Amino acid sequence: MSDLILVRHGETEWSVSGQHTSWSDIPLTENGEAQGRALAPLLAEHKICLALVSPMRRAQDTAKLAGMNAVVDRDLVEWDYGAYEGVTTREIHRTRPDWNLWTDGVAPGPPEHPGETPEEVGIRADRVIARAEAALQNGRGGDVVLIAHAHFLRVLAARRLGLPPSDGALFQLATGTISRLSTEHGRHVLASWNEQPRG
């Protein structure tokens, strides 16, 4: 049985502070690098037919530290947070106390980063799933690994399970973790989620 393996990149200074990070290319902290290395034994347990990675440095560095020879896929970038880039949820709630990313989206940002709705992120996730599915069905066997970002991977998990993009809110995802989407009786299922390497 072939699975879809989701890897969230290691810790960055902004993931610690809670700042929304999409296009800002924030590097891994020392702890984030250690998290990346700790993923290697877990991923080595899998036969991998394809590994895809976000173009962002934090994801690519995590992939390398985890021993993955991954192909860059631009659709794996994080949710475009528009005007909320670098801003924490607490700060947003000062002016929008009822704001929820999963239902409200983001405030428009600069022309090159206007922000995305949950549905727009879902469209990108569906494209990644289609590419992963093609690799899973190619007859060679093996799992597909995706190394990317928290909110994007949460949307992708929701879409893979047949849920709307906004249901990604149900899946908490920490840095440096591995999750597995599998099948059971012909249906897509959540086999494991948010696993942190021991040690």
Whole-Å CA distances, 11 to 70, 175, 184, 192, 193: 19, 5, 32, 21, 18
The predicted structure's pLDDT at residue 37: 98
CA dihedral for 153, 157, 162, 168, sign (positive or negative): negative
How far is 180 from 178, CA to CA, in rounded Å?
A: 7
Whole-Å CA distances, 194 to 6, 81, 96, 125, 191: 9, 23, 29, 19, 11
The predicted structure's pLDDT at residue 118: 96
Q: Label the pairing between strands 178-184 and 143-148.
A: unpaired
The predicted structure's pLDDT at residue 41: 96
Mean pLDDT (the chain, rounded): 96
pLDDT interval class at 1 (50, 70, 90): low
The pLDDT tens digits of the residues spanning 24-58 come to 999 999 999 999 999 999 999 999 999 999 999 99
Tell me the residue length of the chain: 199
How far is 190 from 199, CA to CA, in rounded Å?
A: 24
Angle, vertex CA 89, rays to CA 85 and CA 92, nearest 5 = 80
How far is 15 from 7, CA to CA, in rounded Å?
A: 15
pLDDT interval class at 144 (50, 70, 90): very high
The predicted structure's pLDDT at residue 138: 83
Q: Percent of the chain having pLDDT more than 70?
A: 99
Q: Is the pTM of this model over 0.85?
A: yes
Phi, psi (rounded to 5 degrees) for 158? -60, -45
The predicted structure's pLDDT at residue 198: 78
Among 12-16, 69-73, 100-104, 137-141, the least confident range? 137-141
What does the pLDDT average to over 58-66?
Answer: 98
Q: Over 80: is that where the pLDDT of 195 sits? A: yes
Residue type, 18: G
Query: Which of 139, 157, 164 is closest to 6 using CA atoms?
Result: 157
Residue 2 or 79, more confident? 79
Q: Which residues are catalytic?
A: 9, 78
Query: 26-57 b/e with 16+ CB inside 10 Å = b?
Result: bebbeebbbbbbbbeebbeebebbbbbbbebe
Q: In order of start, what are the domains of the chain with their CATH numbers? A: 4-195 (3.40.50.1240)
pLDDT interval class at 141 (50, 70, 90): confident
